[in-house]
Amino acid sequence: MMIIIFFKFNMLCEVTIAGETVGYVANKDEFESKVNEILNKEEESKLYTTIEDMPEYHLKLVDKSEQTNEDVILGQLEAKAETTYKLYAVTIDGEEKAIIASLDEAEKIVDEMTEKYEDEIELDIGITEKITTDKTIQNSVKLAKSRVNSSIENAVEEKEAEEAGQREIESHTVQGVYLEATPVSGIITSRFGNRESIRTSGHTGLDIAAPAGTPIKAAASGTVTFAGYSGGYGYVVKLDNGNGVQTYYGHCSRLYVSTGEKVEAGEVIAAVGSTGNSTGNHLHFEVRVNGSVVNPQNYLYN
């Protein structure tokens, strides 16, 4: 009877993964050695490889027609294997800009960029370890350097633009009031301090020629202290812009605001005309600080 059993059956090692039979192998030790090869395969930046559900083995008598499928099982295990890598991220202000495999190369990039831009911008550039199972996020050294360089160039451009904007604001600021809007665009026909036949003293503002009806904008936010006809100014709007600063808009053809009204910088408050002491359509733009006239070109039209 025993002879019949061994004639019909073979002793094989059944392999199960997560309780499910996936096949048979002839030699457990040889198969486990191949599994260890998967786990211990050398790879750049690799920390370790794990397989969540490791195979279990059971010796069994199986029908001689049953075939071993070692390669298929190994393929399944390799597909389930997860490798963890240690990469290095080059960061700027704590934000990852590039990821590479070599710490030495990362340090070279940091040193090179620090030296290149040290006179242009203060850099918070560093390196952090990045533990990941996704090696596809790794950049080549060339690409990493390009990305870091591009990020710093953008930061330099933003800094320069910010500084230029700040300089512009400062150049348009009088007594802490930012004259952010140009009242009208046109040709300056008479500058501050000019002495001409139509006036008995130096010019108290700027005359900017523009077609009749051209919208006049408030140079800065403020409160209308006067809107009406006033001698040589003709129709004029006077704004209190705060901090002792006042702006006048004279010789208007129409006024769109009233005394006591609050206006915003850039808001249309009147229209160009030739009322009052005027020889043609233009805006008389005047800036006063604590009651004294100052040259508007120190802040606008410069």
Residue 48: its H or E element: strand 46-51
Q: Is residue 237 helix, strand or coil? A: strand
Phi and psi at residue 255, to the nearest 5°: -115, 135
pTM of the predicted model as reported, rounded to 2 decimal places: 0.68
In the chain, the domains with their CATH numbers are 2-82 (no CATH), 86-152 (no CATH), 177-298 (2.70.70.10)
Strand, helix or coil for residue 160: helix
- Quote the pLDDT of residue 9: 78
For 273, which DSSP code?
B
Residues of the chain with pLDDT under 70: 1-7, 196-200
3 state DSSP class of 150: helix
pLDDT at 196: 66
Beta strands in 195-244 (DSSP E): 206-209, 215-217, 222-229, 235-242
Q: What's the CA gap between 34 and 74, in Å, rounded? A: 8
Torsion region of 234: left, alpha or beta (phi above 0 gives left; psi -120 to 50 gives alpha): left
- 287 contacts 172 by C-beta, under 8 angstroms: no
For residue range 1-38, what is the model confidence (pLDDT) as tens digits? 444 555 677 889 999 999 999 999 999 999 999 999 99
The DSSP code for 259 is T
The gap between the terminal CA atoms of the chain, to the nearest Å, is 114
Report the alpha-carbon distance of residue 103 to residue 127 in Å, rounded.
8
272 pairs with which residues across the strands?
252
pLDDT recorded at residue 195: 75
